[in-house]
A and B are shown apart, each in its own frame.
Chain A
Amino acid sequence: EAQVTQNPRYLITVTGKKLTVTCSQNMNHEYMSWYRQDPGLGLRQIYYSMNVEVTDKGDVPEGYKVSRKEKRNFPLILESPSPNQTSLYFCASSLSLGNPIRGYTFGSGTRLTVV
């Protein structure tokens, strides 16, 4: 089944404790991206990657890191999480820049709480 898999689904952590949210897709998509969703703000892009070893900042990159060593994986790293990073996070992938028809495939989301 074609899908984007995020782990974990739920995570509660303490301020300053490094964490990684994993994202993996099995569709051979070049493009992958991370979004965060906050009430009243919709979804906002954190980072994106157009292909292996190519990453760039989205609209709200502060406090996050990413890497794209393999085509299928795009982990989101919070080196020192803070309470304002409490949010619902989505990983998404897409076949290419030239494929708008089906948009993006989203993962199931990771609900992160930083206390």
Chain B
Amino acid sequence: AQKITQTQPGMFVQEKEAVTLDCTYDTSDQSYGLFWYKQPSSGEMIFLIYQGSYDEQNATEGRYSLNFQKARKSANLVISASQLGDSAMYFCAMRERTYNTDKLIFGTGTRLQVFP
């Protein structure tokens, strides 16, 4: 079964610094997709970035980049130049697709706090 592991329950970073949030995954599929979502205190789930298993380059979206190391089965999120508004819960997820199902498998999340 597919599994997502986020080993950092909480992280602190100073404003304007970069921070890396760890994510490792386990799957036997050759084709898969990895996602990062942000959940601010208001509760909504905000899509940040996607990485496909066959993508040759690491995904980037503005200040967000995904450090994808396929052999190590890791998909770490890097946030550059942290802002106070980045304080939130961050979830790594993998899409599981079979002939009769399609769902996201989520990790337990990392709470990021950005301080001035």
Interface residues of A (CB under 8 A from B): 31, 33, 35, 40-45, 48, 50, 56, 58-59, 88, 90, 92, 94, 97, 100-109, 111
Count of A-B contacts with CB under 8 A?
64
Q: Contact at A88–B106, with CB atoms within 8 Å?
A: no
Closest chain-B Cβ to A64's Cβ sits at a distance in Å of: 15
Interface size class of B (residues with CB under 8 A): 20 to 34
- Given A42-B106, A43-B104, A45-B103, A103 and B95 contact (CB-CB distance below 8 Å): yes
B interface majority secondary structure: strand
Name B's A-contacting residues (CB within 8 A).
4, 33, 35, 37, 43-45, 47, 50, 52, 91, 93, 95, 97, 100-104, 106-109
List the 5 closest A-B pairs by CB distance, nearest first: A42-B106, A106-B45, A100-B33, A43-B106, A109-B43
A105 to B46, alpha carbons, bound, how many Å? 8
Q: Please state if B43 and A103 are interface contacts (CB–CB under 8 Å).
A: no
